[in-house]
């Protein structure tokens, strides 16, 4: 009988840690409300299973779980499809309790994403702050300021205004 390789054992250990983090985070989220991504981080810091990996690798496992929840939430929000469509297979193949809790987490993540989207749409930018690439509109005179790379926001060259909002194209 062939012994499993160290790489195979390590991959299996990471997979098991991901699943444990998922279950513990979902259980904790079921008990209390709050930012689900903070709950994942809290559970990760307390998890003995994750401590057996390095800090960097444990953070990667947390990031993988957060990425999957965000991806599922975005998919459901953007397509109107169901979780089974995101998974790409029959839901009966997943443990019922895990499925229910994952669905709740995806719902919370969807709400968090919608809140972030709404906050971003209402975001205000001010002279002296940093901004990334894009176009800002002066709130006073509607002058467009184009940023082709990150930079400090100057006063409006036309009216000396100091308050801006981001131009969104649809």
Report residue 170's pLDDT band, with 50, 70 and 90 as the boundaries: very low
Give the single-character DSSP code of 91.
G
Place of tokens 């975001």: 123
pLDDT exceeds 90 at position 159: yes
Tens-digit pLDDT profile for residues 51-86: 777 788 888 877 877 777 776 777 777 787 776 676
Length of the chain: 170
Confidence of residue 1 (pLDDT cuts 50, 70, 90): very low
CA distance 27 to 165: 40
More confident residue, 87 or 125: 125
% of the chain beyond a pLDDT of 70: 74
């Amino acid at each position: 009988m062939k012994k499993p390789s160290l790489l195979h054992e390590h991959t299996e250990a990471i997979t098991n840690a991901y699943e444990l983090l998922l279950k513990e985070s979902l259980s904790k989220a079921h008990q209390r409300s709050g930012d689900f991504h903070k709950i994942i981080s809290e559970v990760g810091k307390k998890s003995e299973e994750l401590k057996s990996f390095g800090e960097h690798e444990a953070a990667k496992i947390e990031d993988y779980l957060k990425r999957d929840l965000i991806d599922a939430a975005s998919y459901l929000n953007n397509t109107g499809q169901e979780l089974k469509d995101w998974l790409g297979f029959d839901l009966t193949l997943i443990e019922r309790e895990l499925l229910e809790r994952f669905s709740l987490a995806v719902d919370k993540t969807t709400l968090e994403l919608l809140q972030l989207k709404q906050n971003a749409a209402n975001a205000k930018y001010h002279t002296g702050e940093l901004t990334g690439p894009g176009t800002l509109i002066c709130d006073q005179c509607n002058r467009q300021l184009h940023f082709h790379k990150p930079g400090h926001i100057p006063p409006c060259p036309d009216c000396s205004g100091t308050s801006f909002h981001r131009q969104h194209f649809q």
